[in-house]
Amino acid sequence: MKNIKIFTILLITLLGVSCSLEETIYDLATPETAIKSASDVDNAIVGAYASINAIDYFGRSAMWVTHSSADDLSSTAGNEPGVLARRVSLNASHYHFIHLWWEIYTGISNANGVLDYVDNLNLPESFENKAWSEAKFLRGFYYFGLVNFYGGVPLILNSVDTSQDFYVSRNSVDEVYAQIFLDLEDAITYLPNRSDQPASERGRATKQSAQAYLAKANLFYANYLDLNGRSGESAPYYQLAINYANDVINSNQYSLVPNYATLWDVNQESVSAQEIIFACINTRDAANPGNQGEGGFMVQFFNPTTITGVSGRPDGGGSGHYKVQPWFIDKYLQGEYVNDYRVETSFRFSWTNRNNGQNITTYPNTPTEEWESQPYIKKYVDADGLATFSNENDFYLMRLSDVYLMKAEAENELNGPTAVAYTAFNKVRERARLADGTLRAAPADLQTGLSKEDFRIKIFDERGLEFVAEYSRYFDLRRMRYTDNAQTMLKYQFGTFLPSLSQGLPTWDEGTMTWSAGRTEASNIAPYDIKYELLPIPSTELAINPNLVQNPGW
């Protein structure tokens, strides 16, 4: 889907390119002229999906922005991941802040084109209904991305034409969420259950996709209300998050994969599909193995440079752009997480150096030959990849385990750590204990005795391990509250916790046979600043639209 764009988006002229509005347009492809038949509609739908996989959204930019802005991974790369992680000279003109905005609005514009014109065609009602629901889902999905990156944004709900006002103002966060709820609720109406979805439409939204995103959107909005002194308004949204999570769970359309490792095996994608509610679908693309192809890139960025046999790169290795912060791996090697199967499945602690055959061991294990100060992510491997950017690994955006943890969180925020909250939380731990078929004791179920605030942190920590390197951490930091119920986890982590750690990376001392005290890649721990709670409104938008107002601190 990545390369299919059905009509070039006039919205880019409206909201993203500094071109003169006095130019004469002699020939313009519009939805009205491009969507005439069922095949046109389906192509337009595929085009609306395409922005999800595009380089400027989940194909690259969103991953770099979110992983570099969180606290669990670090990057010292000289290119964008490292620049973003060090937060040096970041401003509203940064490429990825701008192109994220453009690409998401491209997806919205394509969805709007379908919504504006599908009803005008003489097509089978069932076909039109499904197309309408898919476009509604996509528009809601894209606006959910925008509001979480940028806050309140302009709501563009119709195909753009040259007669409308180009100087649109930002809608409020409340207004954007209201539209997200409307779109996703409409999407439920005619989207198919997973069991009714044709194999040829794998990767497209199901009814449960819309329900799961409604659960997430209601949870995030309730979090937003709590953080902004409006807790008196949040209860109905927490309840809706629970209701929609229950709809997904009780549909029995999805189930947790018994072996967590199966999720990361590219040869078992048909098995993993039982848990994956929505994802970026990647494939080995022999026709176009470069940046613009259909393949996934995660294998490269998360694997060591000296390993081989894990990717489609010519050397079979990775670029090592992202590594795991030592303090973060410490958390999951002690206490209730000791012997948690997800740790050995998610993190890479050793491999053979392809250059000299030596064994490389990372912190915190004892080296036998060579060592590195940080573990790597192990989730993304494709030994049969065709090229650097042509690996099979799908990128998961919504898994059923997320639905269980969202239900636990919403229930806790609404009613405290009730039996309902514990049960939902423990479903994720139960799967972790199954390991590879040999039952383990860890992680144990949570039982009773926690306060609401303590249980919230348990959920935060559980999400940190369950979804590491899956785009989740950045948003969890920004939306979840610390135990004081006032500051975001982002503010607490970067303002209090991380500065309290031994700065610098651990090094191995052959004499004492111990690791030194450092626990952070300190260059990635910038002092907390309110501006990091949101991305800046792109400078290109501010330059051409005087009605847009910048986010705080930028």
308: its two tokens: 């081989």
Would you state the pLDDT for residue 513?
A: 97
Contact by Cβ (8 Å): 541, 163: no
Distance CA 430, CA 51 (A): 36
DSSP annotation of 488: B
Q: What is the DSSP string of 349-409?
A: -EEE-TTT-PEEEETTSPPSSEEESS-EE-S---TT--BTTBB---EEEEEHHHHHHHHHH
Helix pair angle (400-415, 207-227), 10° resolution:
40
pLDDT band at residue 293 using 50, 70 and 90 as cut-offs: confident
Asked whether residue 313 carries a pLDDT value surpassing 70, the answer given is: yes
Would you state the pLDDT for residue 7?
A: 35
Would you state the pLDDT for residue 291?
A: 78
Q: Which residue has the tokens 């022999």?
A: 286
Q: Over pLDDT 90: what percentage of the chain?
A: 86
206: its two tokens: 């199901």
Q: What is the DSSP string of 93-129?
A: T-HHHHHHHHHHHHHHHHHHHHHHHGGGS---HHHHH
The whole-number average pLDDT for the span 83-101 is: 95
Q: What letter represents residue 516's amino acid? A: S
Output the CA–CA distances (angstroms, integers) from residue 264 to 80, 85, 259, 346, 546, in the order listed. 26, 26, 10, 9, 47
Three-state SS across 504-543? CCCCEECCCCEECCCCCCHHHCCCCCHHHHCCCCCHHHHH
The SS3 assignment for 309 reads coil
C-alpha of 499 from chain center: 26
| Residues 372-419 pLDDT 10s | 999 999 999 999 999 999 999 999 999 999 999 999 999 999 999 999
Would you state the pLDDT for residue 32?
A: 62
Distance CA 455, CA 79 (A): 38
The whole-number average pLDDT for the span 93-108 is: 97
Would you state the pLDDT for residue 116?
A: 92
Would you state the pLDDT for residue 34?
A: 64
pLDDT band at residue 31 using 50, 70 and 90 as cut-offs: low
By C-alpha distance, which of 45, 31, 38 is closest to 1?
A: 45
Residues 6+ apart with CB under 8 A from 185: 210, 214
Asked whether residue 14 carries a pLDDT value surpassing 60, the answer given is: no
By C-alpha distance, which of 189, 245, 186 is closest to 400?
A: 245
Q: What letter represents residue 386's amino acid? A: L
Distance CA 275, CA 45 (A): 24
Asked whether residue 15 carries a pLDDT value surpassing 60, the answer given is: no
How many residues are listed for the chain in this entry? 554
Asked whether residue 22 carries a pLDDT value surpassing 50, the answer given is: no
Contact by Cβ (8 Å): 387, 312: yes
The whole-number average pLDDT for the span 168-190 is: 98
Output the CA–CA distances (angstroms, integers) from residue 118 to 50, 107, 124, 164, 367, in the order listed. 19, 17, 11, 21, 62
Residues 6+ apart with CB under 8 A from 183: 136, 137, 139, 140, 143
Computed over every residue of the chain, the mean pLDDT equals 92
Asked whether residue 26 carries a pLDDT value surpassing 60, the answer given is: no
Asked whether residue 283 carries a pLDDT value surpassing 70, the answer given is: yes
By C-alpha distance, which of 474, 550, 541 is closest to 148?
A: 474
